[in-house]
Chain A
């Protein structure tokens, strides 16, 4: 990897601006990194070794240098659209996501199999979501961040990641995706992850081998 420093580009998604960072340069398949809940692109620094292509990392709306959403309504499908705007900028790529970003990577890999060569799913903050269906016995209460909370990340991100993630919904994206590689370290995984892991052809990897396994899976 040549040192490209950390260049950043501003992208337009709807009415907000998003910051896409380039962490390193290279000649192979680009890699797009999707951070965990209430984090930002910098959380990936030093985590990616041995990637042959350029490495990009996005700040989702409401995170890092990207604009907060006026009125909120943060949703993981909307974060997938943030990531898709980045994909439009960098072209056919591999994805890696952590926590809620892993779920976003799954959604995007399933919705754009022609543009996402493969996706690596890491655990992290926001991995679980709010279960396979709403909690019918305990209605949601209106969210209220602490009155003195300031961003980034946007304090109103309290409205995620309690989103519902049905097994068969996650599975539909898992089946539509071209290549998925799940990082397993013996830690607990939510039902949607286990449903995806059961799909034939979905691979698993240890954390140590994750990047080389992802790169190798694209080489064939």
Chain B
């Protein structure tokens, strides 16, 4: 059954939508605020989407032109044939060029890691970086939804990946959920700190309805979990970060963060212009849980 668009207090739909065609993919961008104001690019986390910024973006739009990217395989952007960290950094760099850098970059979770890395790749296009709890997995790695378990040795992980790829030809997408409420429950099981009302808004924009039910828009293959990547490389890779970095975490322990303080400090030890902040009453989804406080923090940090 189709569903009227839910409302959520403080959530404002984008004022404009854009499509950037990059490497054969349509990358979708949502925009708020004065098109002549200085730009801020927002990058969401894994299995999220740009509409998750519907409560943060309008607050930032008081001062900035705010553009949220749907990453490849997420939201309204195309599904790709493959996904990979460095390739997706190029997607973000293309989005920065599209909004007309130099821009401020703000990212959450995986998107936070992306914008911090992108600032090292295209330093001339970046003003300031805000990373909302996107400082990588714990030292032992984290098993991502849809990815292979990281505690196994590399050959065994690749074997599981290969098994999945063999099955992939016959399984092109998600199974449908009977109702939007089922999607909300599924997501709530993973992220119990997020309210059912917000998750209903978030899931509505993160899913599509068709005759046989509701399916996530995100590509089930966006997480892979194979390859030689190591969390201890994250800190040293930020040695070359030139832009000021505001590193933000919530005060509350949550499913995917924050990292224990000593490890977080280690990840950030090479950042030359480091600013730290915590948002009280927030877990991993800092901007979704406390959009007002997060917006105030960002407006205090990002010069016009």
Which A residues lie at the B interface, using CB under 8 A?
12-16, 61, 67, 69-75, 77-78, 80-81, 84-85, 88, 107-108, 110-112, 133-134, 136-143, 156, 159, 163-166, 169, 172-173, 176
Chain B residues with Cβ under 8 A from A81's Cβ? Answer: 161-162, 165
Is residue B240 within 8 Å, beta carbon to beta carbon, of the partner chain? yes
- B78, B87, B168, B226: the one contacting A159 at CB < 8 Å is B87
* Contact bitstring B141-163, A, C-beta under 8 A = 1, else 0: 00000000000011110110110
Given contacts A88-B166, A111-B159, contact A140 B81 (CB under 8 A): no
B25 within 8 Å of A (CB atoms): yes
- Given A111-B158, A139-B237, A172-B154, verify A75-B169 contact (CB < 8 Å): no
Q: Is the CB of B226 within 8 A of A77?
A: yes
Check B154 against A141 for contact (C-beta < 8 Å). no
Are A73 and B233 in contact (CB-based, < 8 A)? no
Q: Which residue of B lies closest to A138 (CB)?
A: B240
The 10 closest A-B pairs by CB, nearest first: A71-B80, A73-B82, A73-B84, A139-B120, A111-B158, A69-B81, A176-B155, A73-B87, A81-B165, A136-B236
A162 to chain B minimum Cβ distance, whole angstroms, is 9
With a cutoff of 8 Å between Cβ atoms, the chain B residues found around residue A13 in the complex are 165, 168-169
B227 to chain A, nearest CB (A): 5
14 A–B pairs (Cβ distance < 8 Å), ordered by A? A14-B81, A69-B80, A70-B23, A70-B81, A71-B23, A77-B224, A85-B169, A107-B158, A110-B158, A137-B239, A139-B240, A140-B89, A141-B122, A159-B86
Q: With A110-B155, A139-B120 known to touch, is A169 a contact of B228 (CB < 8 Å)?
A: yes
The docked-state distance in angstroms from the alpha carbon of A31 to that of B88 is: 35
Q: Is the CB of B233 within 8 A of A84?
A: no
- Given the interface contacts A70-B25, A73-B82, A142-B121, does A80 sit within 8 Å of B162 by beta carbon? yes
What B residues does A80 contact at CB under 8 A? 158, 162
**A77-B226, A141-B122, A173-B158 provided; 10 other pairs, C-beta below 8 A?**
A14-B168, A15-B79, A70-B24, A73-B83, A81-B162, A84-B166, A136-B237, A172-B153, A172-B155, A176-B153
Indicate if the CB atoms of A142 and B82 lie closer than 8 Å. Answer: no
Q: Tell me if B78 and A71 are in contact (CB < 8 A).
A: yes
Decide if B159 touches A112 in the complex (CB within 8 Å). yes
In the complex, whether B72 has a CB less than 8 A from a CB of chain A is yes
